[in-house]
Chains A and B, each alone.
Chain A
């Protein structure tokens, strides 16, 4: 494990320009974490580790006591179900750790930037790392520095077009066009289980974590067909 602060010398200017070190809020909810509380932290893992299907299953779940500590550190004393998740700033699938330095209360409710949208970025960066498109450390740095800016950089998005990704779920219906796919020939990969689903399958586009890609890309990255596919 290493403290993500080692990236600060590299991105200090970006940090200063992007948020001035303060958390960005929408009402009382956070869009970006407080860098003093949540600078980000990574496990001592490599691309070879994180690109193995099922990698995140090997990481212990965050204990409730630690989650409570996260909420307390951000001064959140009351919350309703579905209002927040304790998010890994650098996601597990990008080698982020369970350290409290990497955890923050991320809102499901803010628009357009919320936990569902960040999930989409995390999946995309993971795919880009595993396909060799981007270095793992670069992906970690981008998402830790300013995940909203990283989203815009990756998807070329101003934020307006992600307004639909709000509410209770980012799970897409099979009839929805994949957000970053050009056709329905794509399979849906459950990046947590390492299994993929063909169009029309029950869980196509419906698992909490996942992304669309061609079947050949899925196989290349080590994903395998779900049972019955």
Chain B
């Protein structure tokens, strides 16, 4: 699966503080106050609090978040594109696909 360099550059090093699922969206919060919203295909993954993102890989509708502890969170997105958005704590958009 190919690395998503653009998203990796944005969220690598950020630590998850929580996650929630609602209305077909998974919202992952990071300890720096930023959030990543993922439009999902109805699945309700949960992200382990405390995990620090090392890299992001993406292919078709699979989005993998690789963590520094070696674990991976696989999220199935609603579409191959237009499903992920990251905003910083000031709500400024940092990434969209």
Give chain A's interface residues, CB within 8 Å of chain B.
1, 41, 43-45, 49, 52, 55, 58-63, 65-66, 97-100, 102
Asked if B83 contacts A58 (CB within 8 A), the reply is no
Asked if A65 contacts B80 (CB within 8 A), the reply is yes
B93 close to chain A: CB less than 8 A: yes
Q: With CB as the reference atom, state the residue of chain B lying closest to A61.
A: B6
Asked if B83 contacts A1 (CB within 8 A), the reply is yes
Contact bitstring B40-84, A, C-beta under 8 A = 1, else 0: 000000000000000000001000000000000000000111111
Q: With CB as the reference atom, state the residue of chain A lying closest to B84.
A: A60
Asked if A63 contacts B81 (CB within 8 A), the reply is yes
Q: Which residues of B contact A99 (CB under 8 A)?
A: 79, 81-82
Q: How far is the CB of A126 from chain B (nearest CB, A)?
A: 16
Q: Tell which of B60, B85, B92 touches A44, judged by Cβ atoms closer than 8 Å.
A: B85
Asked if A66 contacts B81 (CB within 8 A), the reply is yes
- Which 4 residue pairs spanning A and B have beta carbons closest together? A98-B81, A99-B82, A60-B97, A97-B82
B4 close to chain A: CB less than 8 A: yes
Q: Which residues of A contact B60 (CB under 8 A)?
A: 65
Alpha-carbon separation in the docked complex, A66 to B77 (Å):
14
Q: How far is the CB of B83 from chain A (nearest CB, A)?
A: 7
Q: Which residues of B contact A58 (CB under 8 A)?
A: 93-96
Q: With CB as the reference atom, state the residue of chain A lying closest to B6.
A: A60
Asked if A98 contacts B97 (CB within 8 A), the reply is yes
Q: With CB as the reference atom, state the residue of chain B lying closest to A95.
A: B96
Q: Tell which of B82, B92, B93, B94 touches A98, judged by Cβ atoms closer than 8 Å.
A: B82
